[in-house]
Structure formats: structure tokens, C-alpha cells
Chain A
Amino acid sequence: MKRHAIHKSLAAAAMAFCLAWGAPAQAQSEASAALSLLPVASIVASTGAASAAAGAVVVLPAALSVAGAVLTVQAVQVSALSTVYVLERASDGARVSVELSDRAAAAAVHGVGTVVTCSVIATGVILSAAGEVLAFVPNALGRALLHNERL
């Protein structure tokens, strides 16, 4: 009888555990250091005319200046410190190379032939593949919003 009671209470604990998991005292102060995954990129080379469409200060290459532009990954150059994606715009062949630090690139590995969409926002340009960010190229406004330093 006693054993049965223990068994039942353990079963109840296991069930409660399963029910509680997912929203267990997810009380507050949730912030996690895992968030610093923003793949900030810089332009390292481009062909075609430059444009200032995405920001008042930073001059973006033509290949990244039109929202909705579709580009294709032509080459991926991986080194110890960074990953460089060579992108080509489908409409006119304009090319741009964007460089990501090794850590930023780790979350987004894309191969040659990947189709990349260009979204121009007020703080820069988002390059994404299937809705997932490949790289963010901030303009001056975007750069002022980004800083990450452990104290």
C-alpha cells in the first residue's frame, strides 16, 4: 500500500513536471547572452554603380540598393577569421562581396547557388535566404544602434 502511494506520487511528480515544463516559472528577467548572433557584415568589394538608397550616409553598392532584389551566392570564401560571400544580382550581373566574422557566419552557412533576397530598411540592408538572415549590412544609423561589450 505504501509502495503504491509512493509510486502514485512519483507518477504525479513526473506528470506535473511534464506539464510544468514549457512554462515553469518563466517569471521574468529572461535575457540571455545567446542573443548576440547578429551576423553583421561589411562590404569588401563591389562592381556596378554605387547608391545611397538605403541610408543618408553610407553608400551601398548597386547590387544591394534595391529592396526585393534577388541575388545568388556565387562563391563562399572561408578563412580562419571570416567568411566572404560573393553575391551576384540576377537582373544585371552586378556583384558584391560581403564579409562576416567567423562567429557571425557560424549560424548561417549557405552554399553556392543559394538565392538571397535583399531587404532595405531604415538601419541598413538585410540579406536573407528563405527568411533566415545571412547578413546585415548596417548603415550609419544602424551602426550607432549596435554595440556589444561584456563588462
Chain B
Amino acid sequence: MRAIHNMIWAVALLAAGAVQAGRSCEPQHLGAQTLGRGMQLAASTVRALDDSGARVVLLARAGQDLSAYGLRYSHLGWAYRTAEGPWRVAHKLNDCGSDRGYLYRQGLGEFFLDDLWRHEAVWAVPTPEVQQRLLALLQDGRRTTLLQHAPYSMVSYAWGQRYQQSNQWALETLAMAMEPDTVRTRVQAQAWLRFKGYAPTVLRIGPLTRLGARVSAANVAFDDHPNEKRFADRIETVTVDSALAWLQAARLAAAPERLVP
């Protein structure tokens, strides 16, 4: 019995250590090369966006290696050209590895300054009507934050409301921009996305990996996924890759454009 007790403590201690090892808000050192490459990618992207004539694009980056899941990009936001000229990105950021996420308006420099897995930008130019509707929303701080939901899980269920990850906020907000009279809640936004044929990515994540992630990371949870899907290892969540494919298929945006400086 004592052995079992010790083992439980060992697992608990491992979990505690792992949580502390997660990304925090402690000051981190920024490498000169990381800064130089990030700013170069930002500048090149701005030039390309200016040349495209677009006012609003879905902009994404490859912040981590997701090839094991068949995914190329990790995070997206809505980038728009301000009346003054500079481009800004409205996106949701996880708060230092915690179980909360908040909205930010940043420059493309900040957007690409995270330690990227791949120095590459991808964007999709929405149709003129979609751009117009999004621009009106993004210039209005109150409307931009209307569907923001702070509880965060990076693998939140695409059709759930308990948590909201970054890409999910962006698509739900698109729904509200497109149907301002009828979409005012996350439930309504998700209904619109379903109606328009959006299909989230299905990640295959087994029980041991789920357990490990849950006890080690505050920003990962699986309890919002329906039992029948969760226990079948099917984790349905909003990804950049699925968003880009859907926008094009639904004729809401043109084909994605990729930039590798």
C-alpha cells in the first residue's frame, strides 16, 4: 500500500514540476537572430499585403511543429490595414501558459516575433464583401471583443462553449461580422459556421497523452469534448489549416498565399 502511495506522490510531483516548466511570463531572453528574422518576415509580409490591395486578411504563422497532426500552421488572426497606413492584427493570446486567453491588437512585428518553428507567413484574402464586414467590426473595439471568452484550452471543442482557443475566436467573430443581426452569441456563431460547412480538424489524441497534457499544462483541457468523441480519441478543434481550406471552399476568401522570405 505504501508503494502505491509513493507512486501517487511521484506522479503529483512530476505534474507540479511540469506545470512550472511551462511557458510563463517571466522575462525571457530574445536572440538577435530571432528578432532579425521575425522583423524581416513582418516587413516582407506587409509589403506583400500592401501590394495585394486587400484591407483585411486572415493571417497565420507556424509557431510550432504540428506535422505529426498533419498541420502546417498553428495560429491565426485578422490583419487589417488601418486608415493611417500600418497593418494591425487582432488575435487572441494565451496568457502565459495559464487557462486564460485575451484579445490583443498588435503590429505584424509582434505577430511574427515569437520563436517561430518555420519562418513563413500565410494569408487568405477574403472577398470584398467579407473584408468590408470584417473591417467595420475590427475598427470597433466593443464588437471585436463581443464573442471573447477568457477560459482557454488550446484544443477546445470546436462546437463547445466552455473554452475558446485563438483560432476559434477568429472564426466565431467572422460569423458575427457576416451576420450582425442574428449572430450575437457563440452558440449562434457556431451554428452559422456549421451552416456554412466549416469542418474542424480531428486530432487523434490517445488517453495517456490526454492525461499527461491535462496534468502538466493549465492551457490544455479535454473535458469540453463530448464523451463519445473524447473516448474515441477524436479531438475536434479549430485549426489554421482547416480554416484556410474552408474559407476557399465556401467562397469566402481566395486561395491561401504563402510567403517565405
A126 to chain B, nearest CB (A): 5
Residues of chain A at interface, number, CB under 8 A: 56
Over the window 98-115 of chain A, the binary record of Cβ atoms lying under 8 Å from chain B Cβ atoms (1 yes, 0 no) is 000000001110000000
A151 touches B141 (CB 8 A): yes
A150 touches B103 (CB 8 A): yes
A132 touches B30 (CB 8 A): yes
- The residue on B at minimum CB distance from A105 is B27
* Residues of B contacting A108 in the complex (Cβ-Cβ under 8 angstroms): 27, 29-30
B110 touches A34 (CB 8 A): no
Residue with the greatest number of chain B CB neighbours at <10 A, chosen from A10, A19, A25, A36: A25
Over the window 9-36 of chain A, the binary record of Cβ atoms lying under 8 Å from chain B Cβ atoms (1 yes, 0 no) is 0111110111111011111111111111
* Residues of A contacting B4 in the complex (Cβ-Cβ under 8 angstroms): 3, 6-7, 10
Residue B14 contacts which of A17, A119, A124, A128 (CB distance < 8 angstroms)?
A: A17
B102 touches A24 (CB 8 A): no
A27 touches B237 (CB 8 A): yes
Within 8 A of A (CB), among B78-103: 85-86, 88, 90-97, 102-103
B142 to chain A, nearest CB (A): 9
A51 adjacent to chain B (CB < 8 Å): no
Size category, B interface: 35 or more
A107 touches B27 (CB 8 A): yes
- The residue on A at minimum CB distance from B169 is A29
B31 touches A33 (CB 8 A): no
* B interface list, Cβ under 8 A from A: 1, 3-4, 7-8, 10-11, 14-15, 18, 23-33, 35-36, 39-40, 42-43, 46, 63-64, 66, 68-69, 71, 73-75, 85-86, 88, 90-97, 102-110, 113-114, 141, 144-145, 148, 154-155, 165-168, 203, 205, 208-213, 215-217, 220, 235, 237-240
Given contacts A29-B237, A122-B39, list 14 more A-B pairs with CB under 8 A. A18-B14, A21-B216, A24-B220, A29-B74, A29-B238, A33-B93, A33-B102, A34-B23, A34-B28, A35-B110, A38-B110, A123-B40, A131-B32, A144-B86
**What would 12 A/B residue contacts be, using CB atoms closer than 8 Å?**
A17-B14, A24-B216, A25-B220, A25-B235, A29-B94, A29-B154, A35-B93, A119-B36, A128-B32, A147-B106, A147-B107, A151-B103
